[in-house]
Amino acid sequence: MNRRDAVLVLMALGLAPVSALAQPPAKVRRIGILYPGSQADSGVLAELFVKALRDLGHIEGRNIAIEWRYADGPSCWRRWPPSW
C-alpha cells in the first residue's frame, strides 16, 4: 500500500462518523378524514382545515399526509342506524 492509499483510507475512516451524526428524516404523520358528504361538498371546509394546519406549521406532503374519504352524501345515511 502506498502513501496515497493510506491517506485515502484514513480520510474515509475519519469522515465515516460524520455521516452517522446526521439527523434522521422527520416522521410523516398521517391524518384520516371521513367526510359525510361528497368531495364536491367539502371544498371550503377542506381548504380551511388545510390552511389551519399550515398556520400551525404542518405542510401536507412534507410532514403530514392527509387521507380524505367521502361517504357520498345522504344515500349512505339511510343505512344508519343499523338494524340489529
Does 15 map to a domain?
no
Does 13 map to a domain?
no
pLDDT at 81: 61
Give the domain extent around 50: 24-84
Low-confidence stretches of the chain (pLDDT beneath 70): 1, 10-23, 73-84
Count of domains for the chain = 1
Dihedrals phi, psi of 8, to nearest 5 degrees = -65, -40
Does 71 map to a domain?
yes
pLDDT at 49: 92
Does 54 map to a domain?
yes
Q: What is the DSSP letter of 25?
A: P
Does 80 map to a domain?
yes
Does 10 map to a domain?
no
